[in-house]
């Protein structure tokens, strides 16, 4: 029996509704899931099925100046687990971040236009509460035949440090960690490789190094409580190395597919990519819950 603690719905850049996620998760035999949309908690109220345990989470992009100064392609995403929908302070922060993201989308499109790619801002429309971001712009770029597919759009234009990248939308990591503490949620670093991306990083594993350990130690001193050791792109040796890092730092391990529906084709809910199937053990959630109880 397995779990999946990193899932996106159509409230951010996934394509399945929250109820579809619950149904699919149930159908493939998952024990529990977490919905972790980008910068929004609005999807939870749409879940009408009560036959599966759903942990409420949110994923937030942060800015860490020291990190990006040395490595413009780096990025840091924090998952907050056990968020509460009536948390006024967190809601205010998320609302602000969503506004920033809207103006960032416009800035990205302006940059693309400046690079000769005609993308119309009017075409970037979601339905109501949907948080739009780079994947939606990438979809328009594919539609207008400027790139082959979504990964191509990120590699050439939208990815961190690329010509149409804009980083003004994010919250500073120190601030985000304060918010995590105030909201009594559990902050976990999503997909740790994005702290230290290198070419072929997922193949040669060279990103698991002293730099990563140093950065993780600094994050832990700011309040980080866990890292995602089970992730779709990680093979078994990578997972094991990350797991020993987590033990060394005495922090939690979590895991999830980062499922986005049709926006990440070939990436499956619960099991990730076919060539290195994911199976996140239940016990990680048990430990996460114990931690949550200890801080609440």
- Rounded to the nearest 10 degrees, how much is the dihedral formed by the CA atoms of 64, 65, 67, 69? 160
Query: Between 4 and 59, whose beta carbon lies closer to Zn ion?
Result: 59
Find residue 78's DSSP bridge partners.
60, 189
- Which bin fits 294, alpha (ψ -120 to 50), beta or left (φ > 0)? alpha
- CA separation for the pair 163, 155 (Å, rounded): 10
CB of 8 to Zn ion, least distance (A): 6
Query: Between 64 and 146, whose beta carbon lies closer to Zn ion?
Result: 64
Find residue 59's DSSP bridge partners.
38, 79
Give 71-122 as a DSSP string. -TT--EEEEEES--TT-HHHHHHHHHHHHHHHHHHHHHHHHHHHTT----GG
Q: Which residue has the tokens 């304060």?
A: 178
Q: Directed axis angle between helix 88-114 and helix 173-182, to 10°? A: 150
CB of 97 to Zn ion, least distance (A): 15
Question: How many residues lie near Zn ion (CB under 5 A)?
Answer: 2
Query: Between 59 and 139, whose beta carbon lies closer to Zn ion?
Result: 59
Alpha helical stretches, state H, 51-87:
65-70
Q: Which residue is nearest to Zn ion (CB)?
A: 258
Q: Which residue has the tokens 């800015």?
A: 63
Q: Which of positions 47-76 make contact with Zn ion (CB under 5 A)?
A: 59
CB of 122 to Zn ion, least distance (A): 27
16 touching Zn ion, by CB under 5 A: no
Based on C-alpha coordinates, what's the Rg of the chain? 18
CB of 188 to Zn ion, least distance (A): 11
- Window of 113-121, 153-161, 215-223, 250-258 that interacts with Zn ion by CB under 5 A: 250-258
CB of 288 to Zn ion, least distance (A): 17
Query: Between 78 and 112, whose beta carbon lies closer to Zn ion?
Result: 78
- Pattern 258-287, Zn ion, x by CB under 5 A: x-----------------------------
Residues in the chain: 296
- Pattern 83-112, Zn ion, x by CB under 5 A: ------------------------------
Structure tokens belonging to residue 209: 């190094």
Helix (H, G, I), strand (E, B) or coil at 76: strand
Find residue 76's DSSP bridge partners.
62
CB of 106 to Zn ion, least distance (A): 23
CB of 138 to Zn ion, least distance (A): 15
Task: By CB under 5 A, name the binding residues for Zn ion.
Answer: 59, 258
């Amino acid at each position: 029996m397995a779990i999946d603690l990193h899932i996106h719905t159509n409230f951010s850049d996934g394509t399945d509704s929250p109820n579809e996620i619950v149904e699919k998760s149930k159908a493939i035999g998952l024990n529990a899931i977490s919905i972790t949309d980008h910068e929004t908690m609005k999807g939870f109220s749409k879940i009408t099925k009560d036959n599966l345990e759903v942990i409420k989470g949110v994923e937030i992009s942060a800015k860490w100046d020291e990190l990006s100064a040395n490595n413009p392609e780096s990025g840091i995403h924090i998952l907050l687990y056990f968020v509460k929908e009536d948390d006024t302070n967190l809601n205010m922060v998320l609302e602000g971040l969503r506004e920033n993201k809207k103006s960032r989308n416009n800035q990205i499109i302006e940059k693309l236009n400046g690079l000769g790619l005609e993308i119309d801002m009017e075409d970037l429309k979601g339905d109501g509460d949907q948080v739009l971001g780079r994947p939606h712009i990438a979809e328009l770029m594919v539609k207008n035949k400027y790139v082959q597919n979504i990964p191509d759009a990120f590699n050439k234009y939208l990815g961190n440090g690329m010509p149409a990248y804009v980083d003004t939308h994010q919250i500073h990591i120190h601030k985000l960690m304060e918010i995590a503490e105030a909201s009594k949620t559990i902050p976990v670093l999503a997909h740790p490789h994005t702290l230290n991306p290198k070419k072929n990083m997922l193949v040669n594993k060279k990103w698991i190094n002293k730099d990563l350990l140093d950065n993780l130690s600094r994050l832990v001193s700011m309040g980080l409580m866990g890292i995602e050791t089970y992730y779709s792109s990680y093979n078994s040796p990578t997972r094991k190395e990350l797991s020993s890092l987590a033990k060394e730092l005495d922090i939690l391990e979590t895991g999830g597919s980062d499922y986005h529906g049709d926006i990440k084709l070939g990436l499956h809910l619960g099991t990730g990519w076919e060539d290195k199937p994911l199976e996140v053990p239940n016990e990680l959630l048990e430990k996460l819950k114990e931690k949550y109880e200890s801080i609440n």
